[in-house]
Amino acid sequence: MVNKNARATNPLLGQDHWNIQLDENGRLKHFLTIEGLGSEILTEILDTAENFTSVNNRTVKKVPLLRGKTITNLFFEASTRTRTTFELAAKRLSADVLNINISTSATSKGESLLDTLYNLQAMQTDMFVIRHQDSGAAHFAARHVAPYISVLNAGDGRHAHPTQAMLDMLTIRQKKGHDFSGLRVAIVGDILHSRVARSQIHALNTLNTGEIRVVAPRTLLPADIEKLGVKVHYNLQQGIQDADVVIMLRLQKERMQGAMLPSELEYYQQYGLTSETIKYAKPDAIVMHPGPINRGVEIESCVADGPQSVILEQVSNGIAVRMAVMSMTLGANAGAGTAQTGDDK
């Protein structure tokens, strides 16, 4: 279903932009995009994350796995959930965390991304977590940092947000079981600007989801979206008909230039998920949203807070998924210099 031959035209991404994620042993070294990763790796991320959820439910929410490692959060775009859950994930793995706030950093004095990275590298950072407004920024960093450093993409432009997609997959798996082949998943809203939607579609395809639908007005759909293996709907009621999972996306007004929508009210009337429109989905359908929610724009409060909503469980799962990816990538780097493997009893 997925068009694996589609090549990125973005020069920052390069030709083999998914291959640099894996080391020579096929282990995850960077986590930049879902594209190019097989179901085995995605399942390994989900299984590892599932186990970290038990740590997050303990009295002492900390394990010593990444003790002595330094993880730098480099956020060039505003974020609350993603940055704080990355920070908590690192701290619960006992790593030391640096949070670089770009608006008050030397970048605002004109330092380039590369100079920022090299300076933090000189402070013995082991991992960069990067959010950037440009698609491909995390790939760019992964290509240029020292070989022992891992890079995690926390959202780049309109391109990808792979940890968000994986926490969504974990939430779906917990609610609907390990087999996705019988599931009908509808992604509703601003697909055009959404890196989350793109990563979700790749992950759902790789995990062999039965049917993936995108639901949006024409102006908020990228051209050729069908090539990703999704069914396009312009009508909400038809789009979520008998869905098992309804994923609502935020209307990204800050990224909109020109008249893409007549008005928020009209959008809500046509595409808002309300206590009425939710009835078109299956009675046991779950409602998801990556946050932040615009109540009354894409979702009605009583649905966002209702019994079908798993929005806050997504947030909790975000910590576990980020712990999994951090420990897997830094684990792949482990022993890179000594190249030895242990034989576990």
| Cβ atoms within 10 Å, residue 163 | 28
275, 300 Cβ separation under 8 angstroms: yes
Instruction: Examine residue 124 and tell whether it contacts another protein (CB under 8 A).
Output: no
Q: Which of 39, 51, 108, 133 binds another protein (CB under 8 A)?
A: 51
Instruction: Examine residue 44 and tell whether it contacts another protein (CB under 8 A).
Output: yes
**Which residue, 45, 46, 21, is CA-closest to 33?**
21
Contacts of 62 (CB under 8 A, 6+ apart): 55, 91, 92, 93, 94
Q: Residue 22 or residue 55: which is nearer to another protein going by CB?
A: 55
Instruction: Examine residue 320 and tell whether it contacts another protein (CB under 8 A).
Output: no
Q: Residue 66 or residue 221: which is nearer to another protein going by CB?
A: 66
Instruction: Examine residue 41 and tell whether it contacts another protein (CB under 8 A).
Output: no
Residue 302 has which token pair? 């009583």
Instruction: Examine residue 343 and tell whether it contacts another protein (CB under 8 A).
Output: yes
How big is the chain, counted in residues? 345
Instruction: Examine residue 179 and tell whether it contacts another protein (CB under 8 A).
Output: no
Q: Which of 4, 109, 218, 345 binds another protein (CB under 8 A)?
A: 345
Q: Residue 67 or residue 227: which is nearer to another protein going by CB?
A: 67
Instruction: Examine residue 224 and tell whether it contacts another protein (CB under 8 A).
Output: no
Give the footprint of another protein on residues 55-74 (CB under 8 A): 55, 58-60, 62-66, 68
Q: How far is the CB of 128 from another protein (least distance, A)?
A: 19
Instruction: Examine residue 48 and tell whether it contacts another protein (CB under 8 A).
Output: yes
Residue 257: Cβ-neighbour burial (10 angstroms; 0-12, 13-18, 19+): exposed
Instruction: Examine residue 284 and tell whether it contacts another protein (CB under 8 A).
Output: no
Classify 45 as helix, strand or coil.
helix
In whole angstroms, how far apart are CA 88 and each of 56, 126, 318, 333? 10, 17, 10, 21
In whole angstroms, how far apart are CA 192 and each of 31, 35, 345? 23, 18, 50
Question: What residues make contact with another protein under the rule CB under 8 A?
Answer: 27, 44, 47-48, 50-51, 53-55, 58-60, 62-66, 68, 327-328, 330-335, 338, 340-345
